[in-house]
């Protein structure tokens, strides 16, 4: 085995969001409802983040996140604070013009079926540009106080997908026509905003970025692809749109050479441990792994809905994959030996694809829960101690496969 890894990704990883204390969840709702002053929220956030950093360290993790405790939902407020973007309303939107949405987008479809409109409607209303400050500044400031400067490079900041407020809207409905004539113009300005954000965070000492992206995984969903093909408004096939997104993302992800950037392909992680989409990675694997300019892929592999490990044969030698073989959705603990066997099975497919040895392929792999524990404020259907045991299991699996490696 090669020398121990000292930079992200680490052998034992997680996807950023962690269960919030109920007191923090309730306080944020009280502040939003005007029942409590905003000044009461930040001290709770500070203490909760300090506690969850200790939990991560106690569990033997070198990657450290804030648990996303300073935000209400996993996507944060990056788009919401860009010049040219407007958040129309928080919470469920009843009576809103539903024709703006793609009804077959898996998350949108799920909300429509529950008689609700997607719980955040942020749209472009003018030319998009970076505001000159980061909406993640508070998270960064808190985290830098909690870990020594030598560990700042391990702090993980999670960012929303560049297509978050594009994919869910029908063709041409993501922006006013008098602002952008086409997707390419819109993408160009969003890309500049991402580049500025990454540059800004780098200047703050951050070197570890994870993009949370449900949208690319939707191209694995047969029901989504059928809906796309039937939508007469689309000016691109699904394959053409995926190609356009890869090109767009690569513009967004231009970054300093020493900044690690990973992407988490999510199939949905909503209240009550719901997911939104299914489908193996086969449809997108070659383009995803070989054309997208990221260092690491955080992939969901906790249930058969993600398919098998065969697509990993397309993973290049210079990239990493974090296998989400432990579920964050339910408290039952996986069998450690079975998870070790699954990791070794994945390594075999990588080795077949690259012509490496099994051991060399293992060096490209890490393990994690398949997603966060609380992408939305209320979190998944398990408790705080269950989460601790899940993280300890991930650490134990990593220690068994890569002894002595962080």
Rounded distance between C-alpha atoms, residue 69 and residue 143, angstroms: 11
CA distances from 185 to 46, 166, 327, 398 (A): 40, 13, 39, 44
The H-or-E segment that residue 198 falls in is: helix 183-203
The pLDDT, as a whole number, for residue 73 is 87
Is residue 287 in a domain? yes
On the question of pLDDT at 93 being above 70, the answer is no
Query: What CATH number is attached to the domain comprising 387?
Result: 3.20.20.210
Q: What mean pLDDT comes out for the span 381-389?
A: 94
* SS3 state at 128: strand
Residue 183 tokens, joined: 């997707």
Q: Which of 45-59, 266-280, 364-378 has the highest mean pLDDT?
A: 45-59
Question: Tens of pLDDT along 137-189?
Answer: 999 999 999 999 999 999 999 999 999 999 999 999 999 999 999 999 999 99
- Examine the pLDDT at 215 and tell me if it is beyond 60: yes
Q: Is residue 349 part of a domain?
A: yes
Tell me, what's the pLDDT at 109?
Answer: 72
Residue 118 and residue 98: Cα distance in Å, rounded?
10
Average pLDDT of the residues in 35-50: 96
At residue 302 the predicted structure's pLDDT band, cuts being 50, 70 and 90, is: confident
Strands 156-160 and 260-265: unpaired
Supply the angle between the helices 384-401 and 41-58 in degrees, to the nearest 10.
30
Statement: residue 277 has pLDDT above 80: no
In angstroms, rounded to a whole number, what is the distance separating the alpha carbons of residues 310 and 396? 25
128 located within any domain: yes
State residue 1's pLDDT score: 47
Looking at the chain, the whole-number percentage of residues with pLDDT higher than 70 is: 91
Is residue 91 very low, low, confident or very high in pLDDT (cuts 50, 70, 90)?
very low
Bigger pLDDT: 119 or 256?
Answer: 256
Residues 271, 374 contacting (CB under 8 angstroms): no
Q: What's the confidence (pLDDT) of residue 88? A: 77
Rounded Cα gap, residues 150 and 345, in angstroms = 35
Domain membership flag for residue 17: no
Specify the higher pLDDT residue, 304 or 19. Answer: 19
Q: What is the mean pLDDT of residues 289-297?
A: 98
Q: Is residue 109 part of a domain?
A: yes
Number of domains in the chain: 1
Residue 16 lies in a domain: no
The chain-wide mean pLDDT, for the chain, equals 91
Q: Binning pLDDT at 50, 70 and 90, where does residue 98 land?
A: confident
Identify whether 2 is part of a domain: no
Is residue 286 domain-resident? yes
Domain that holds residue 60: 22-401
The whole-number pLDDT of residue 273 equals: 40
Nearest to 48 by CA among 153, 154, 149, 139: 139
Q: How far apart are CA 115 and CA 334, in angstroms?
A: 35
pTM for the structure as a whole? 0.94
């Amino acid at each position: 085995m090669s020398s121990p890894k000292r930079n992200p990704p680490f052998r034992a990883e997680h996807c950023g969001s962690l269960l919030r204390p109920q007191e923090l969840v309730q306080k944020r709702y009280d502040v939003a409802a005007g029942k409590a002053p905003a000044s009461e929220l930040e001290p709770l956030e500070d203490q909760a983040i300090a506690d969850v950093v200790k939990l991560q360290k106690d569990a033997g993790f070198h990657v450290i996140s804030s648990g996303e405790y300073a935000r209400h939902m996993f996507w944060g407020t990056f788009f919401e604070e860009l010049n040219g973007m407007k958040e129309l309303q928080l919470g469920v939107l009843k009576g809103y013009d539903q024709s703006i949405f793609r009804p077959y987008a898996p998350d949108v479809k799920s909300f429509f079926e529950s008689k609700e409109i997607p719980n955040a409607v942020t749209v472009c209303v003018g030319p998009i540009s970076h505001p000159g400050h980061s909406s993640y500044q508070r998270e960064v400031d808190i985290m830098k106080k909690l870990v020594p400067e030598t560990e700042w490079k391990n702090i993980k900041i999670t960012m929303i997908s560049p297509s978050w407020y594009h994919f869910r809207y029908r063709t041409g409905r993501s922006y006013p026509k008098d602002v952008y004539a086409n997707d390419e113009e819109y993408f160009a300005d969003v890309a500049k905003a991402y580049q500025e954000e990454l540059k800004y965070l780098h200047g703050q000492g951050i070197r570890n970025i994870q993009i949370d992206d449900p949208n690319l995984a939707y191209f694995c969903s047969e029901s989504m692809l059928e809906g796309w093909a039937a939508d007469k408004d689309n000016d691109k096939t699904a394959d053409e749109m995926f190609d356009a997104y890869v090109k767009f993302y690569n513009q967004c992800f231009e970054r300093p050479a020493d900044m690690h950037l990973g992407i988490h392909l999510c199939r949905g992680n909503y209240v009550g441990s719901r997911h939104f989409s299914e489908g193996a990675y086969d449809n997108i694997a070659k383009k995803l792994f070989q054309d997208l300019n990221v260092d690491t892929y955080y992939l969901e592999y906790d249930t058969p809905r993600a398919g098998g490990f065969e697509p990993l044969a397309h993973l290049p030698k210079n990239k990493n994959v974090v296998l989400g073989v432990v579920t964050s959705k339910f408290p039952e603990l996986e069998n450690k030996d079975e998870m070790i066997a699954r990791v070794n099975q994945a390594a075999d497919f990588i080795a077949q694809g690259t012509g490496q040895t099994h051991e060399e392929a293992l060096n490209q792999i890490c393990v994690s829960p398949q997603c966060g524990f609380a992408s939305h404020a209320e979190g998944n259907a398990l408790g705080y101690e269950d989460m601790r045991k899940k993280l300890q299991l991930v650490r134990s699996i990593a220690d068994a496969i890569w002894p002595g490696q962080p």
